Structure 1
Amino acid sequence: MIDRRRLLFTAAAGAGLAATGQVFAQTSAPAAGSASATLAALMDRIVQESLMTSPEILTSLGLDKGPAAPMKAMLDDRSQAKIDADKVVFRKSIADLKAIDRSALTGDDGVYYDTLEFFGDTAISGYAFPYGGGGPYGATCYTVSQLTGSYQSLPDFLDTQHSIETAQDAEAYLSRVSAFATALDQETARMERDFAAGAIPPDFIIDKALLQMANLTGTPAAEMVLTASVARRTAEKNIPGDWASRAEAIVSGEVYPALQRQADALKARRAEATHEAGCWRLPDGDAFYEYGIKSYTTTTLSGDEIHRIGLDQLAELSARADVLLKAQGLTQGSVGDRIAALGKMPEHLYDNTDEAKEQLLRDLNDQMADMARRLPQYFGRIPTSTVEIRRVPKFIEAGAPGGYYNAPTLDGSRPGAYYINLRDTAEWPRFQLPTLTYHEASPGHHHQIALQQEKPGTPLLMKVLGFSAYSEGWALYSEQLADEMGVYEGNPVGQIGYLQSLMFRATRLVVDSGMHAKRWSRERAIDFMRDALGDAESAVTTEIERYCVWPGQACSYKLGHNKWVELREASKAALGDRFDIRAFHDIGLGTGGVPLTVLDKVMTEWTASQKA
């Protein structure tokens, strides 16, 4: 899973275009007055208009330097007034886009136009819903949940993405810690707006969010990650100053009270919460699910269609796993039962100790080194950015996904990072770990996103814009590609882990559509996923509760994977012996993050050109 920040409307990152003096121009300037020049000017205007809107994305991309350095002391404005103002600006940008003559655009310019048009139309359709994170902020039902809200994201952001090299950086850090309290209060106000609009999270979502908030406020301010981070990093850089005690005072005097206010506001509505999982129960909930499907999968499939696809593909994948399980002597019970039995065998488990978890991380790094040696046979372009493998921070691991990825900075000052949730090693039998790592790191998310950022001649806006179906579909395709590379030769149990991963994504189609379109309960969805996959119930519960918050997002993986495979097989059938897997990958990844409709058009045209 990509860190959700990556999939937000990231035009604000374009501030770096002017503010840092970095040049991300097209290879050659289009003729003045042409449709291409108008489009280029519009993309430049989008990033310029967003100059002061997202200090956090500037930091994420490494663009908070030089003249933009003052932004490093700020956090994003999370107020409803700012969101409403952004919507006005965005509507104008998309209206201006539609005034450009699409028929006069060719090549990359056509791809840029089609991508922005799809993105704009979809985002604006989300403005109709008076709750959650609609529009460019993603199809999310609730401003605050176990997965959404600054309480959940900002401590890790400040710890891992705000760099500290100088005393000025440390001062900026403390300013941001203080601004964290403002961010919490702004989101509390928006959360109350959700409630007034009829969007109170289910009781189990509220309970998980309150647990995580209590874990934060229950930690002494002197030991809280925001305090420990600045203390550790200023000491490492020999920066004199009483940074720890200053951070502790801000955390105890500003952040914790704001977080308690948010928890109290959430707690006050707990008695009104229902136990229904799906967004159908919200005002215009069925329409919200259609919006979520389009936003995340970039398709117009219905919930019923997605449900059928999931059931069909789960059956086919389970049959393949059944053959491998029988070869291991596991013949009794369902496929899920047998995978569960396999996952409980001591030889397939790491001890649930910090020492064993460190060994697990070392093993994953060895796996990445092996993959790096295989990549040149399948890709012409290989990213220069590196990727690090890290644990999900302990203070959010209770509600965090099993794994996710953060992109590197554009200037190379910070590598990509793949996070794995190690709250309980029983959730990660050894045979499941390889395919997760191929998905999150290489040739999956890191490979794709780093190449998107590193492609020369690409406008900055197109370096940072992303779509879940494209990126998650590619990452799941990467799991299949790793199998085709031969990484599981002599390791049939590892291949079972790979098939279980595909089954997991097919099951997501079933349970996501089950809860949001067919009105399944949380418990029915948990039972279905646990029985189908044999996963630990704690892991399954976290997954199901995630889908309650992001309707449609879980469907983007398998539907995106299906499209990548469909396009490859169509190209192979058309080109026969002339098909070049390296060229196919380079062209597909060369588009950057685009809707599946745009990817289909690009790859179909490329195949036709190769055939001609």
Structure 2
Amino acid sequence: MDNGATRREMLALAAGGPLAATGLAATWHSAPASAKPPPPCPIRAPLDAIADRLLAHTPETAVYNGIPDAQLGGQSARRLDDYSPAGETAWRAALAQAERDIAPIRCGPEDKLAQLRLATASAILANANRSAAVPYGRINAFNFSGHVPYLVTQIAGPHIDTPNAMQAQQALSSPQAVDAWIAKLDSFPAAFKGVIEKVRADEAAGSVPPATLIARTLPVLDAFLAGPEDAHPLIVALRTRMDAARLDAHLRAKAEERAITALRKRARPAFEALRKQMAALLPRGRAEAGLWAQPDGDSLYAANIRALGDSPLSAEEIHALGLSEVARISAEMEALLARRDLTQGSIGARMDALARDPANLFADSDEGRAELLEYVRTLVRAMEKRYDEFLPSALIPHQQLEVRRVPVATEEGAPGGFYDGPSLDGSRPGTYWINLRDMNAVARFRLPTLSYHEGVPGHHTQSCIALGLGEAPLLLRIASFNAYQEGWGLYAERLAAEMGAYKDDPLGDLGRLQDELFRAVRLVVDTGIHAKRWSREQGVQYMRDVTGVAESRVVAEVERYMAWPGQALGYKLGQLRLLDIRERMMKAKGKRFSRRAFHGLVLGNGAMPLDLVEGEALRD
């Protein structure tokens, strides 16, 4: 996700998907036709048992991924995660136990697929437990943001993620599902009491979010509390989706009445209590932007670099790498700008001028936003028609992508674009969300590369291929490897250029390079803030000067890095690693090298650590 975003996890359907049928998911290194396949190593049962035990602590992860409610005792759709200090302690204990449980499992060298999956599962749990000694914040083993130091921010937390999932992801297609949805709304007071307890416990442990992030969070809470109850986004979503499911009219009316009562008497008072807590915390908010200022902040940041950047490099080395990439990409942009006779001023200033040119903008109106969304849908459909140019035929997805606007209630703190993967049961499609809060921040020439990253051949392609991994253990199907996933998204942007997507669109190619520059700058700013003690203003100024991206987006981006330390590193670190693996595979195979086969190796086994991707690509 650009951001992440994927919220954005590798998902899969039930057994029998296209890869399971062809056997391509198992390995891209075929055994001789005469070889008798060895019996499979029995890893699925123990790994599924581990996943079930973990998901009992994270029902919202189960709901987001579309895991059947009955699989987890029939209660996951009716409740939130336990965010209280006791709940977090129990969750961390379960993660530690899971790592102990998986350690004794062994598979012989004859079952390459089982070995690969076992190594992937071990990496999931290693990442989850890597920073467990740091008591504050929230660990999520199945989320791209890993260990976040602050539970409640302007970009994520139960106050954002839970309502969003209830609006878009949680099932509302049956009377039982509707009842569970309303029961969850009824449970907000108890759940948010736990959230408040956790915020207080973290402060007692010495961790207080930057004041800027607290201040940015208050309007998000206010948005939930604003407006008439029957027009609340949750109620509108309930009404619209029950209607789409063609549920009984009497049931719909009664359900809406119950939901409005729950919103008024329970959900909104829970948000009011959280807002009161965050407003009281604001005067004590830290002036420092970086994680270094928090207790054991250096240790947590190093753990996040390893887990989210999938890199052994130090913060200092990553900072230097970012500066090097900024210089390289800037030189390419200089050449393209010179061809347009744009030679005066910084690259950022020149790109800013191009972005402000009315010819490169959509109207700041409902009509302009509708036109932008339709333009993006056209880009996605065109690239979908070219799947056979870069994928083996057995991997070509058939699921279409939805393109939607980020909800107005949460757009202020949300990234410019991100992807939500389809549900495990196939009932919810993949969705590419675009933030249209500031139409001056979404110049037309930036939209192709954003669409290739979030859609095709990026996150949507990646997730849809994983839909065929239905025979894989559940633990792997809901796993997140940030550098793998976001690295592929950035690799996909470059792949589109290699395929000639910008042959007749030089401005679009400038937009692509500007976005790649943006990701290189992330290496500089993220490490600058969290390791080199940059201020928020220093990060904003550097990013603004170098990239020329609209200030509204830059501010939101830098504050995102403050809330999610290390997550933004995964894009460039992952892309560079994938390009290096591809180059080494080309040299090793010579004329036998196939780009389509390389992509099959990268995507055909789902999300995994990049060391395992390299091992698969370079194994004869």
- Whether the TM-score (by the shorter chain) exceeds 0.5 is yes
SS in 2 for 1:126: coil
SS in 2 for 1:188: helix
Aligned residue among 161, 173, 187 for 1:165: 173
Q: Give me the whole-angstrom Cα distance separating, in 1, the residues matched to 2:8 and 2:603.
A: 20
Distance 1:434 1:156, change over 3 A: same
Q: Give me the whole-angstrom Cα distance separating, in 2, the residues matched to 1:233 and 1:473.
A: 34
RMSD after superposition: 2.6
Q: Give me the whole-angstrom Cα distance separating, in 2, the residues matched to 1:374 and 1:8.
A: 23
Q: Give me the whole-angstrom Cα distance separating, in 2, the residues matched to 1:159 and 1:101.
A: 42
Q: How does 1:30-69 map to 2 (within 5 A)?
A: 37=41, 39-50=43-54, 52-64=56-68
Matched, 1:231 2:239: yes
Task: Specify the alignment match of 2:286 in structure 1.
Answer: 274
- Pairwise CA distance, 1:189: 1.1
Distance 1:25 1:259, change over 3 A: farther
- Pairwise CA distance, 1:155: 1.6
Matched, 1:468 2:482: yes
SS in 1 for 2:199: helix
Distance 1:502 1:8, change over 3 A: closer
- Pairwise CA distance, 1:561: 0.2
Q: Which moved more, 1:587-596 or 1:50-59?
A: 50-59
Task: Specify the alignment match of 2:340 in structure 1.
Answer: 328
Aligned residue among 447, 464, 467 for 1:453: 467
* Amino acid in the other structure paired with 2:617: M
- Pairwise CA distance, 1:385: 2.3
Task: Specify the alignment match of 2:29 in structure 1.
Answer: none
Q: Give me the whole-angstrom Cα distance separating, in 2, the residues matched to 1:324 and 1:9.
A: 36
Q: Which moved more, 1:437-446 or 1:166-175?
A: 166-175
Can you list the C-alpha shifts for 1:10-34, whole angstroms capped at 9, x where unaligned? 9xx99x989xxxxx999899xxxx9
- Pairwise CA distance, 1:172: 2.0
- Pairwise CA distance, 1:232: 2.8
Relative to total residues, which structure has the larger helix share, 1 or 2? 1
Q: Give me the whole-angstrom Cα distance separating, in 2, the residues matched to 1:65 and 1:515.
A: 41
Distance 1:135 1:166, change over 3 A: closer
Do the aligned partners of 1:385 and 1:412 also contact (CA within 8 Å) in 2? no
Do the aligned partners of 2:5 and 2:415 also contact (CA within 8 Å) in 1? no
In structure 1, runs of 5+ residues without a counterpart are 19-23
Q: Give me the whole-angstrom Cα distance separating, in 2, the residues matched to 1:518 and 1:220.
A: 46
Can you list the C-alpha shifts for 1:16-74, whole angstroms capped at 9, x where unaligned? 989xxxxx999899xxxx99645333212212324633433333333336676554333
- Pairwise CA distance, 1:355: 1.3
Task: Specify the alignment match of 1:285 in structure 2.
Answer: 297
SS in 1 for 2:403: strand
Matched, 1:257 2:269: yes
* Amino acid in the other structure paired with 1:239: A
Q: Give me the whole-angstrom Cα distance separating, in 2, the residues matched to 1:35 and 1:96.
A: 23
Q: Give me the whole-angstrom Cα distance separating, in 2, the residues matched to 1:563 and 1:512.
A: 19
Matched, 1:192 2:200: yes
SS in 2 for 1:454: coil
- Pairwise CA distance, 1:257: 1.2
* Amino acid in the other structure paired with 1:89: A
Q: Give me the whole-angstrom Cα distance separating, in 1, the residues matched to 2:266 and 2:611.
A: 47
Task: Specify the alignment match of 1:531 in structure 2.
Answer: 545
Aligned residue among 210, 215, 221 for 1:202: 210
Q: Percent identity?
A: 35
Do the aligned partners of 2:601 and 2:613 also contact (CA within 8 Å) in 1? no
Task: Specify the alignment match of 1:180 in structure 2.
Answer: 188
Aligned residue among 101, 107, 113 for 2:112: 107
Matched, 1:131 2:136: yes
Q: How does 1:118-517 map to 2 (within 5 A)?
A: 118-134=123-139, 136=141, 138-236=146-244, 237=246, 238-240=248-250, 241-380=253-392, 381-455=395-469, 457-517=471-531
SS in 1 for 2:608: coil
- Pairwise CA distance, 1:79: 3.0
SS in 1 for 2:148: coil
- Pairwise CA distance, 1:504: 0.4
Q: Give me the whole-angstrom Cα distance separating, in 2, the residues matched to 1:231 and 1:39.
A: 43
Distance 1:565 1:3, change over 3 A: closer
Do the aligned partners of 2:5 and 2:417 also contact (CA within 8 Å) in 1? no
Of the two structures, which has the highest relative contact order with CA contacts closer than 8 Å and spacing of 6 or more? 2
**TM-score normalised by length of structure 2:** 0.91
Do the aligned partners of 2:124 and 2:479 also contact (CA within 8 Å) in 1? no
SS in 2 for 1:280: helix
- Pairwise CA distance, 1:106: 4.1
Q: Which moved more, 1:248-257 or 1:304-313?
A: 248-257
Distance 1:77 1:134, change over 3 A: closer
Do the aligned partners of 1:56 and 1:76 also contact (CA within 8 Å) in 2? yes
- Pairwise CA distance, 1:193: 1.1
Task: Specify the alignment match of 1:547 in structure 2.
Answer: 561
**TM-score normalised by length of structure 1:** 0.92
Q: Which moved more, 1:410-419 or 1:532-541?
A: 410-419
Do the aligned partners of 1:591 and 1:599 also contact (CA within 8 Å) in 2? no
Q: Give me the whole-angstrom Cα distance separating, in 2, the residues matched to 1:8 and 1:226.
A: 22
Matched, 1:595 2:603: no
* Amino acid in the other structure paired with 1:59: V
* Amino acid in the other structure paired with 1:506: A
Distance 1:387 1:264, change over 3 A: same
Distance 1:282 1:396, change over 3 A: same
Q: Give me the whole-angstrom Cα distance separating, in 1, the residues matched to 2:547 and 2:609.
A: 30
* Amino acid in the other structure paired with 1:259: F
Q: Give me the whole-angstrom Cα distance separating, in 1, the residues matched to 2:197 and 2:444.
A: 44
- Pairwise CA distance, 1:77: 3.0
- Pairwise CA distance, 1:103: 6.3
Q: Give me the whole-angstrom Cα distance separating, in 2, the residues matched to 1:38 and 1:89.
A: 22
Can you list the C-alpha shifts for 1:206-264, whole angstroms capped at 9, x where unaligned? 00001111122122322211122223333442532233332222112111111111111
Q: Give me the whole-angstrom Cα distance separating, in 1, the residues matched to 2:384 and 2:21.
A: 30
Do the aligned partners of 2:153 and 2:563 also contact (CA within 8 Å) in 1? yes
Task: Specify the alignment match of 1:21 in structure 2.
Answer: none
Q: Give me the whole-angstrom Cα distance separating, in 1, the residues matched to 2:83 and 2:530.
A: 28
- Pairwise CA distance, 1:115: 1.9
SS in 2 for 1:304: helix
Aligned length: 595
Do the aligned partners of 2:206 and 2:295 also contact (CA within 8 Å) in 1? yes
Q: Give me the whole-angstrom Cα distance separating, in 2, the residues matched to 1:56 and 1:4.
A: 18
* Amino acid in the other structure paired with 1:153: D
